[in-house]
Structure formats: structure tokens, C-alpha cells
Amino acid sequence: MSQTAVPPAGTSEQTREQAWYESRAPRSAGPRAVLTSTAISVVALTVLAAIGIWMDQAVLIPPLAASMALIAGASTTPLAQPRNVVGGHIIAALTGYLVIAIAGSGFWSSAVAGGLALGVMLLCRVSHSPAAATAVIVGLDHPPAAQFLSLLVLASVILVAIGVLGNRMNHHRYPVYWW
């Protein structure tokens, strides 16, 4: 006599066992959400590029593009929240400056700065994975601290502000929390 497991009442079919070839990834966002998220990202990064051209400074750096991808495409995750975006970049940059103050700038210092940035962000509760790359940039390029930090804060705040407006167009609640 064989027994068949019956799922408890109220459970969805998602709890059934899946075949190895079936994806466990969430469903794709609808076309409107994809277009809106993409547009939000393009607008935000274009604004940073325009500010950089106007100021004759590098305002758009690769980690900020990754930050915008989180804000526009994964807005409910902790990594995308304003506290983590702005705070993570600041903490990571400061970590980079501390490392180069101790060991000088270069490939080894940038590797250490990138790794240490994660630990410092976790201790400060502002974990933001793209910000680890900000520490690497500081370790490699050693940009002037006051200028780099002020532009980094400005750029992070702009990304969050555009993210707030854009996510409202997608009917997403962003931010989930500010602080």
C-alpha cells in the first residue's frame, strides 16, 4: 500500500518538489516594470554623467551604476535602501582612505580595502555590495578625499532621489525604510 503525501491545507503548489531542470528563480517582471526600471536607471546615470561633464569631474563611477541597478531593479532588498546606498559608499570610501594611509595606494591596498570595506559596512549595518568597489577605486586611484567624498555623497543622494520617483511610477514602495 503506497501513501501519497498530501500538502497541508492552505499551501500553494510552489511547495511541491521541483524537478532539477525547473528554475527556482522568481518570475520575470512584466514588460512595463522592466521598461520603467530600465528608464529609471538610464535617467539616473545620465544625470550623473551630465553633472560630471558640467563639473569636469568623474561623478559617474562603476559602483554607482551597480547601486542604481539595485535601486531600480531590486528596490525592496536591504542592499537598495537609502541608508545602505549612501552609508555604504561613504563607509567603503573611508575604509579605502584608511588603508592607503597605512599601506599606500596600489593593487594590494585596493584588494585589502575592498575586502575590509565589507566588514566595516557589516559592523555599521550599511551593507551595500557595490560600495566594496568604491573602496577598490580609492585604493587604486587615491582621489582627493574631500572632493571625492562630497561627489560620492551627492551622486548617491541623486540616485536615491531618482529611485524614489521612478519606483513610484512602478507602484513599488521605495524606500522600505530610510534609516
Q: What are the pLDDT tens digits along the chain (179 aa)?
A: 445 555 555 555 555 677 878 877 777 778 888 898 999 999 999 999 999 999 999 999 999 999 999 999 999 999 999 999 999 999 999 999 999 999 999 999 999 999 999 999 999 999 999 999 999 999 999 999 999 999 999 999 999 999 999 988 878 889 998 88
Q: What is the pLDDT of residue 6?
A: 52
User: Would you say residue 113 lies in a domain?
Assistant: yes
Task: Please answer whether residues 128 and 95 qualify as being in contact, where contact means their C-beta atoms are separated by less than 8 angstroms.
Answer: no
Q: Is residue 2 part of a domain?
A: no
Structure confidence at residue 170 (pLDDT): 78
Which range of residues forms the domain containing residue 52?
28-169
Using CA atoms in the order 46, 51, 55, 60, what is the torsion angle rounded to 10 degrees?
-50
Between CA 91 and CA 19 the distance in angstroms is: 43
Any domain includes 127? yes
pLDDT of residue 51: 96
- Report if residue 148 sits inside a domain: yes
**pTM for the complete prediction?**
0.83
The maximal CA–CA distance of the chain, rounded, in angstroms, is 78
Does 156 map to a domain? yes
Rounded to whole angstroms, the Cα distance separating 164 from 173 reads 8
In a domain, 21, yes or no: no
Looking at the 3D structure of the chain, how many domains does it have?
Answer: 1
Report if residue 153 sits inside a domain.
yes
Contacts 24+ apart (CB under 8 A), 111-118: 111/136, 111/139, 112/139, 113/138, 113/139, 114/139, 117/91, 117/92
In a domain, 36, yes or no: yes
| CA dist., res. 86 & res. 48, Å (int) | 15
